[in-house]
Amino acid sequence: MSTNIPLVPRALPNSGTGALATNKVIKNTYTLLTMTLALSALTAFIALKTNAPPMPWWMGLVIMLGGPLLISKFSASVWSIPMTFAFTAALGYYAGPIVGMYLTMPGGSSIVFNAMATTSIIFLALSGYALTTRKNFSFMGGFVMVGCLVVLLAIVANIFLNIPALSLAISAAAVLLMSAAILWDTSRMVNEGETNYVMMTVSLFANIYVMFMHLLNLFSFFGGDDR
């Protein structure tokens, strides 16, 4: 007789136990996400008020790519939460001087406000849609991963090429990709039994952060007072 039957089988997402576990993951994810967004906004504000100099582009890339990889190594440890706060605080501080640059542009306050409002509306709408409909968006996973790699390579290339039209195309593509990523990540919690709320928080935070930064670029081009 086989002895490979698990003593505590993993709860299915649609079962009663699975639904309770899923709701707990969702609650913990959005609670931690709210706290990390608040911390990131605080560190961005500190950087803005202290006139912190802009960091090199490669430093932001290291934080954005290296942070989640490092956190994933400790995802089952109590250290994952303070590491997540450190990651989001660092990204907030990195964003501060960039936001400050946009604020000095004509219509800068409107640019920043519109980017923040649009990011919030998109996230709440897409995440709410995925949660309420419980539609499975797992098919988007491959598209999001490949798309992010292409956009990342294009960003690095345009740092040296400095082509405004390419910059706008990259930002538009990034916003669409992050929208798809929000649907995919939310679906992972609802339909795929994702249990690590720390990694879900990191992923959703990155989606929001990248979307906001690229919406700043788009609104600065289309929404300035000098347009």
pTM of the model: 0.89
pLDDT of residue 16: 53
Encode pLDDT of 14-53 as tens digits.
545 567 888 999 999 999 999 999 999 999 999 999 999 9
Can you tell me the distance from the alpha carbon of 60 to that of 204, in angstroms, rounded to the nearest whole number? 17
> With 60 as the cut, is the pLDDT of residue 13 above it?
no
Burial class (CB in 10 A: 0-12, 13-18, 19+), 161: exposed
Can you tell me the distance from the alpha carbon of 178 to that of 154, in angstroms, rounded to the nearest whole number? 16
Can you tell me the distance from the alpha carbon of 24 to that of 201, in angstroms, rounded to the nearest whole number? 13
CB 71 within 8 A of CB 83: yes
pLDDT of residue 1: 39
Give CB contacts under 8 A, 24+ apart, made by 107-111: 107/223, 107/224, 107/225, 107/226, 110/219, 110/223, 110/225, 111/216, 111/219, 111/220, 111/223, 111/224
pLDDT of residue 194: 85
Tell me the mean pLDDT in the region 217-226.
Answer: 77
Q: What percent of the chain has pLDDT over 70?
A: 90
Encode pLDDT of 59-88 as tens digits.
999 999 999 999 999 998 999 999 999 999
Encode pLDDT of 92-147 as tens digits.
999 999 999 999 999 999 999 999 999 999 999 999 999 999 999 999 999 999 99
> With 70 as the cut, is the pLDDT of residue 3 above it?
no
